[in-house]
């Protein structure tokens, strides 16, 4: 009983301390805003600020920051010094939704937070947009702690603005390299964790830089590769769990390099998504699939539905559905033979827009599937909305630990999907034990190395031909 009271007391003390920090921070910010306003009222114009200073935030500009950091590095040993890069997530989107004034206020909060929290023992700057750099001292583990504490206080203050951030650290190894280069290393470190909600801080290392360079090269080679038809579409058959016959396939792209090697999509799809180039590739794959199917129809081969992956960026394009219809129409492919795979993470971002598009695709008779179901934030709403024909169960259910729990979840999913008349596909099936469990639990289709790896269109055509002859 006594222990419980002590915990309560400690909790109240902690809440008071946090509130105090927040209030004093907020008051200081208000004082600065008022001072600026008074100056403006008095002179009738905006306060004249030194060109070295970013007029919005009062932090240094990039060039002055670089000079100041270089000067410090000349004077002292570079041990335990680091450059921190702070990036506000989706800031241009934030600005377009909340307007310039709210965006500027958010930037001021961040800048003031930096000055206040790090207490003048640092140098900090903002570039033209939402990128901040801080030059500070401390061991890496301590830096992590400081950043997270700072972020926590800042988030409590500006929760109303709903912004989130990611951070990158470059620890100064060679004080002689230009400071602008050190900043870009810190930025590379941020990028390495940018899409990752579980990891807020990236730390720069050589591998990251090489990875980044390769990615930039990939993006710059993309257009030529597309023109030279160096993207190869492979087909991974899906088998009926009971009859073990091919009942569908998924189109999976690979990138043929100059030396003939094939690069896996995991190595280039994220880059193309990041650079906004992915829709071009997705439609290229879709058209290749239509060509392949039209060839099958021409040869009287029994055609099975083929699914194509579409990245979420496509779904913000108002012409998306019409473009699919035009291409399918050009090759005379019935829509019900084409399946559009949308990943589950796409729904997490904006469930409403995406379920609307999925419904529209279904209205036009395309089949629509949720890919990688169960990998991320699965929402039962997705199923309730009746926007889909197929649920593709993520392969992690078959590969992870806690096999017993995973099996129980799978069985429940199959019972639910059967009631709702949704087709189920299990991905990543690698052995007969998995196949038998899935079949007995009511899974409809099986995709995985146990039956077949992704194969070329010629091999796929042979597989379908052999199957037709055997029946
Ligand atoms: P996905 O759509 O979930 O595709 C399934 C991935 O699992 C494929 O990897 C496939 O080769 C792999 N796989 C299939 N059976 C097994 C198995 O038994 N064991 C294991 N360990 N893996 C198996 P892949 O081809 O490397 O594709 C990776 C991801 O790249 C795809 O995941 C998809 O999200 C994306 N992707 C592929 N092609 C395209 C495309 O044309 N457009 C877009 N936007 N994304 C694509
Ligand atoms: Mg897929
Ligand atoms: Mg998948």
Instruction: Give the domain CATH number at 449.
Output: 3.20.20.450
Residues 140 and 242: their CA atoms lie apart, in Å, by: 56
Token output for 366: 């395309």
312 shares its domain with 459:
yes
Residues 40 and 55: their CA atoms lie apart, in Å, by: 13
CB 164 within 8 A of CB 110: no
Residues 431 and 3: their CA atoms lie apart, in Å, by: 54
Final residue before a domain boundary, out of 137, 171, 204: 204
Which residue has the CA at smallest separation from atom 11 of ligand 1? 454
SS3 166: strand
HSE, side-chain direction, 13 A CA sphere, residue 467 = 20
134 shares its domain with 187:
yes
Expressed in angstroms and rounded, the spacing between residue 139 Cα and the centre of ligand 3 is: 41
**Ligand that lies nearest to the alpha carbon of residue 399, given by its number in the listed order:** 1
SS3 202: strand
Domain that holds residue 65: 16-204
**Ligand that lies nearest to the alpha carbon of residue 425, given by its number in the listed order:** 3
114 shares its domain with 38:
yes
Burial of 349 (0-12, 13-18, 19+ CB in 10 A): exposed
295 shares its domain with 380:
yes
**Ligand that lies nearest to the alpha carbon of residue 254, given by its number in the listed order:** 1
Expressed in angstroms and rounded, the spacing between residue 345 Cα and the centre of ligand 2 is: 12
CA distances from 436 to 152, 391, 430, 431 (A): 49, 19, 11, 9
pLDDT at 349: 62
User: Which of 235, 266, 278, 309 for a ligand 1 pocket mutation test, highest count of atoms within 8 Å of Cβ?
Assistant: 309
Residue 129 DSSP class: S
pLDDT at 44: 42
CB 369 within 8 A of CB 388: yes
Phi-psi region of 448 (alpha: psi -120 to 50; beta: other; left: phi over 0): left
User: Which of 195, 252, 270 for a ligand 1 pocket mutation test, highest count of atoms within 8 Å of Cβ?
Assistant: 252
Expressed in angstroms and rounded, the spacing between residue 255 Cα and the centre of ligand 2 is: 17
163 shares its domain with 263:
no
Sheet strands (E) in 25-152: 81-88, 123-126, 131-137
Task: Please indicate, yes or no, if residue 317 is contained in any of the structural domains.
Answer: yes
Expressed in angstroms and rounded, the spacing between residue 146 Cα and the centre of ligand 2 is: 41
Residues 214 and 225: their CA atoms lie apart, in Å, by: 15
Number of domains in the chain: 2
Task: Please indicate, yes or no, if residue 10 is contained in any of the structural domains.
Answer: no
102 shares its domain with 235:
no
Q: To 5 degrees, how large is the angle CA 354–CA 359–CA 363?
A: 150
Q: To 5 degrees, how large is the angle CA 174–CA 180–CA 186?
A: 75
340 shares its domain with 457:
yes
Residue 86: name the closest of 10, 175, 194 by CA.
194
Task: Please indicate, yes or no, if residue 211 is contained in any of the structural domains.
Answer: no
Give pTM, 2 decimals.
0.68
pLDDT by residue for the chain (471 residues), tens digit each? Answer: 445 555 554 545 444 444 444 444 444 444 444 444 444 444 444 444 456 889 899 999 999 999 999 999 998 777 889 999 999 988 887 887 788 888 898 899 888 888 877 655 789 999 878 899 999 988 888 888 888 888 888 887 765 567 888 999 999 988 889 999 999 999 989 988 886 667 889 999 888 777 777 777 778 889 999 999 999 999 999 999 999 999 999 999 999 988 999 999 998 898 888 778 899 999 999 999 999 999 999 999 999 999 999 998 888 888 999 999 999 999 999 999 999 999 876 555 677 788 889 999 999 999 999 999 888 666 677 777 778 999 999 998 888 767 888 899 999 999 999 999 999 999 999 999 999 999 999 999 999 999 999 999 999 999 999 998 887
Residues 36 and 42: their CA atoms lie apart, in Å, by: 10
Residues 349 and 201: their CA atoms lie apart, in Å, by: 22
pLDDT at 47: 41
pLDDT at 218: 79
Burial of 337 (0-12, 13-18, 19+ CB in 10 A): buried
Token output for 153: 């206080």
**CB within 6 Å of ligand 1 — which residues?**
236, 252-253, 264-266, 269, 278, 282, 285, 309-311, 371-372, 395, 427-430, 447-449, 454
| Minimum-distance ligand 1 atom for the alpha carbon of 233 | 41
Buried b (16+ CB within 10 A) or exposed e, 305-323: bbbbbbbbbbbeeeebbee
């Amino acid at each position: 009983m006594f222990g419980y009271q002590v915990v309560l007391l400690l909790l109240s003390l902690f809440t008071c301390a946090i509130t105090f920090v927040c209030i004093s921070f907020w008051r200081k910010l208000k004082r600065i805003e008022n001072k600026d306003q008074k100056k403006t009222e008095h002179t009738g114009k905006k306060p004249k600020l030194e060109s070295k200073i970013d007029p919005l935030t009062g932090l240094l500009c990039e060039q002055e920051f670089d000079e100041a950091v270089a000067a410090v590095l000349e004077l002292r040993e570079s041990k335990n010094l680091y450059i921190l890069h702070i990036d506000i997530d989706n800031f241009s989107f934030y600005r377009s939704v909340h307007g310039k004034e709210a965006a500027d206020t958010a930037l001021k909060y961040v800048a003031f937070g930096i000055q206040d929290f790090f207490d003048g023992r640092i140098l900090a700057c903002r570039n033209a947009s939402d990128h901040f750099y801080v030059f500070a001292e401390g061991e890496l583990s301590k830096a992590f702690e400081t950043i997270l504490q700072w972020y926590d206080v800042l988030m409590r203050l500006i929760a109303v603005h709903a912004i989130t951030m990611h951070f990158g650290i470059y620890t100064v190894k060679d004080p002689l390299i230009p400071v602008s280069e050190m900043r870009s290393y810190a930025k590379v470190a941020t990028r390495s964790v940018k899409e990752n909600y579980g990891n807020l801080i990236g730390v720069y290392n050589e591998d990251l830089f090489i990875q980044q360079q390769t990615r930039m090269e990939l993006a710059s080679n993309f257009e030529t590769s597309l023109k030279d038809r160096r993207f190869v579409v492979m087909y991974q058959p899906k088998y009926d769990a009971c009859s073990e016959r091919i009942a569908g396939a998924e189109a999976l792209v690979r990138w043929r390099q100059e030396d003939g090697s094939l690069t896996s999509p995991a190595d280039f799809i994220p880059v193309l998504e990041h650079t906004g180039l992915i829709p071009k590739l997705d439609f290229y794959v879709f058209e290749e699939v239509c060509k392949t199917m039209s060839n099958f129809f021409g040869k009287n081969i029994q055609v099975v539905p083929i699914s194509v992956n579409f990245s979420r960026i496509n779904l913000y394009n108002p012409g998306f559905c019409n473009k699919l219809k035009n291409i399918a129409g050009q090759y005379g492919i019935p829509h019900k033979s084409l399946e559009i795979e949308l990943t589950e993470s796409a729904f997490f971002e904006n469930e409403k827009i995406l379920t609307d598009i999925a419904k529209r695709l279904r209205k036009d008779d395309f089949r629509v599937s949720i890919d990688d179901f169960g990998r991320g934030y699965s929402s039962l709403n997705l199923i309730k909305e009746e926007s889909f024909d197929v649920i593709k169960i993520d392969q992690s259910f078959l590969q992870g630990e806690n096999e017993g729990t995973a099996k129980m979840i799978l069985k429940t999913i199959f019972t639910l999907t059967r009631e709702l008349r949704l087709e189920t596909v299990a991905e990543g099936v690698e052995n007969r034990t998995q196949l038998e469990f899935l079949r007995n639990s009511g899974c409809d289709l099986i995709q995985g190395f146990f039956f077949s790896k992704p194969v070329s269109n010629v091999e796929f055509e042979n597989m379908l031909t052999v199957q037709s002859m055997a029946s």
